[in-house]
Amino acid sequence: MEKRIISFFVLACLCFACATVPVTGRKQLSLVSNEEIIAQSEAEYRKLLAQSQLATNTDQGEMIKTVGSRIAQAVESYMAEKGLSSELAGFNWEFNLIKDDKTVNAWCMPGGKVAFYTAILPVCQNETGVAIVMGHEVAHAIANHGRERMSEALIANGLLSTLGAAMGQNPSLTQQLLMQSLGIGAQVGMLKFSRDDESEADHIGLIFMAMAGYDPEEAPKFWERMKSISKEQAPPEWLSTHPANDRRIKDLKKWIPEAEGYAQHVKR
């Protein structure tokens, strides 16, 4: 009888705690509020920046901020046009470049907290390359992939409650699950998003970069470069859960006309 009650409760959670991903329209689990996860993200972002050497007042650092600002404006325009501006409540965009020539990585936490590592810049090559990565990473935050992963982790570990309550029940486990769900960098574990999430971020990110004025035709070229790195050496950890390069290149080419349509709409 107890198992049936638990199963019914889980089913109820799954039925009523759902959200919709912008652009793709996919339904996702949402047991954790944006308010909760953004607050936790802000705290962890501050800790990480305090432990890192930032490339402030450099041309590369300024480029990250410039691209970030353009992508953020594109996101806000898209969400406003779709009547989804409320989904950005609590977002306070911030873009930083971390001096680390070994970690080929970049990420965006819930709430718009972004970090790039200097090791990924040679692969980006230029501002457009940065925009490709920036669009992808910001798309993870807009699609609430971190919140979705955290919601799934809470259920898997029997913590069917709010994030704050889960912290009270089992703080060490909940903190570990939060870090894994956010995947905020080398210091606390690499991205834990599924391949489907990564593909979804490719799709959404391509639209955002196009709306920001960057050429979506360059996105497959970026992944060709990443593919070359993977052949020459062990794939960067950033790619460990990403779709195969050939598949994502094919998908990106398929989505380019859609992204260009959004770009033309913005120009008009």
Full pLDDT tens readout for the chain, 268 residues: 444 434 434 444 444 467 888 888 999 887 778 888 888 889 889 999 999 999 989 999 999 999 999 999 999 999 999 999 999 999 999 999 999 999 888 999 999 999 999 999 999 999 999 999 999 999 999 999 888 887 777 776 665 555 555 555 555 655 666 666 665 543 433 345 778 888 999 999 999 999 999 999 999 999 999 888 766 555 554 455 555 678 889 999 999 999 999 887 766 5
Burial letters 172-203, b for 16+ CB under 10 A, else e:
ebbeebbbbbbbbbeebebbbbbeebbbbbbb
137 is a catalytic site residue: yes
Q: Can you read off the two tokens belonging to residue 140?
A: 């993870």
Contact 64, 133 (CB under 8 A): no
Q: What is the pTM of this model?
A: 0.83
Task: State whether the Cα torsion 113-117-118-119 is positive or negative.
Answer: negative
Q: How far apart are CA 43 and CA 15, in angstroms?
A: 31
- Coil, strand or helix: which one is 38? helix
Give the residue ranges of DSSP H helices in the chain.
2-16, 34-51, 59-81, 121-124, 127-142, 145-156, 163-169, 171-182, 195-211, 218-232, 245-267
Q: Can you read off the two tokens belonging to residue 220?
A: 């497959």
- Coil, strand or helix: which one is 243? coil
For 85-126, the DSSP string reads GGGGTT---EEEEE--SS---EEEETTTEEEEEGGGHHHH-S
Name the catalytic one among 42, 137, 198, 200: 137
Q: Can you read off the two tokens belonging to residue 179?
A: 């870090």
Vertex 229, ends 49 and 190: CA angle to 5°? 35
**Spatial CA neighbour of 186 closest among 94, 92, 115:** 115
